[in-house]
Amino acid sequence: MDSLLVKGGAPLHGEVTISGAKNSVLPIMAATLLTAEPCTIRRVPELSDVKFMGQILTSLGAEVKFEDNTLSVHAGKIKGVGDYDLIRKMRGSICILGPLLGRLRKAKVSLPGGCVIGSRPIDLHLKGLQALGAKISINGGYVVATAPRLVGNDLFLGGRSGPTVLGTGNVMMAAVLAEGVTIIESAACEPEVVDLAGFLNTMGAKISGAGSPTITIAGVSELHGADYEVIPDRIEAATFAIAAAATDGEVTLLGSRPDHLHAVLDKLREAGVKVERRGPALTVRRGGRLKPVDVTTLPYAGFPTDAQAQMMVLMALTSGISIITERIFEARFMHVSELARLGADIAIEGPSAIIRGGKPLSGAPVMASDLRASAALVIAGLIAKGTTLVKRIYHLDRGYENIDAKLRRLGARIERAAES
**Residue of 282, 331, 352, 404 lying closest to 5 (CA atoms):** 404
Q: How many helices (H) and strands (E) does the chain have?
A: 14, 25
Active-site choice (39, 95, 115, 189):
115
d(Cα 221, Cα 217) in Å, to the nearest integer?
Answer: 13
d(CA 333, CA 329): 9
Instruction: Clarify whether 39 is annotated catalytic.
Output: no
For helices 308-317 and 371-383, the axis angle rounded to 10 degrees is 20
Under the phi-then-psi rule, with left for phi > 0, alpha for psi from -120 to 50, and beta for the rest, what region is 133? left
377 neighbors 403 (Cβ within 8 angstroms)? no
DSSP helix, strand, coil percent of the chain (3-state; round to 5): 35, 30, 35
The strand pairing partners of 285, in sequence order, are 250, 274
Pairing status of strand 135-139 against strand 70-74 = unpaired
CA-based nearest residue to 24, from 165, 162, 157: 165
The SS3 of residue 388 is strand
Q: Counting beta carbons within 10 angstroms of the beta carbon of residue 296, is it exposed (0 to 12), middle (13 to 18) or buried (19 or more)?
A: middle
Q: Which amino acid is at 381?
A: G
Q: Is the dihedral of CA 78, 82, 83, 87 positive or negative?
A: positive
53 touches 243 (CB < 8 A): no
Quote the longest CA-to-CA distance of the chain: 63
| Residue 94 DSSP code | G
Distances (CA, A) of 172 to 34, 77, 115: 12, 22, 24
Catalytic annotation, residues: 115
